[in-house]
Amino acid sequence: MPRTLQGPASQSLAGITLCALAALSSPLLPLLSLLPLQAAHAASATATATASAAAAQETNETRISDAYAEALRQCTLRASVAGEITELTVKAGDRVKAGQVLARIGGSEISAPYDAIVSAVMAKVGDVAMPGRHVITVFDPSRMRVVASVPRSRLRELNLDEPVQVEIAALKQRVKAQKVIVISQGDKPMQMAKLYLELGEVAGLQPGQQARATFALSSWPSLRP
């Protein structure tokens, strides 16, 4: 039969048990319980610092949303004589070479004036075209830009020495303007100035697509949020 320890041996085991329990309830437990709280505070501080940096970035720039893309070279080709459109060799989106025949009307031809992309075809085979009828529109994709407007009184608030970022919503793409040209005319402070943001060639960019330009701000405060 198992024997029950009594006397001093029993008291010693009880003392060992009490010591073990005391160790588990020692000051280490509050310390261990504080570790998750400290980690949470550190994560919160990091998130706050990130948010503050983002807010500072927002404060130092302004966005102009009513901008749009255009080609420096774009033209609409028209019928030069009256006659039936007997052939159309291209469709919207096609790339063409300078001199390439795009359509035939009667005994005349319509050719591409330069390397281009066809943006619109406004006729179909069998139509009878009169002189001056719009037939095909083309543009040069290697020379694209975005046009933005800003009140002339606020031009000095834009730091045009800093890079200008352009976001094309339809392409879900951001590009950096290669050059900024400012056209400012008129004497009234509220008249709008045009800002031409030259981009070069951007794959998929079409004239008329909406854009948003982000400018760094100078020391003038009135455009700041």
Please give the distance of CA 72 from its chain centroid, rounded to a whole number.
21
Q: pLDDT digit string (tens) for 79-103? A: 999 999 999 999 999 999 999 999 9
At 31, the pLDDT band (50, 70, 90 cuts) reads very low
Average pLDDT over the chain, rounded to whole? Answer: 77
Tell me how far CA of residue 121 lies from CA of 68, 114, 194, in angstroms: 22, 17, 30
Q: List b or e across 153-184, with b for residues whose CB sees 16 or more CB atoms inside 10 angstroms.
A: ebeebbbbeeebbbbbeebeeebebeebeeee
pTM: 0.67
Q: pLDDT digit string (tens) for 157-200? A: 888 888 899 999 899 999 999 999 998 766 665 588 899 999 99
pLDDT at 52 exceeding the cut of 90: no
Q: pLDDT digit string (tens) for 211-223? A: 999 988 876 444 4
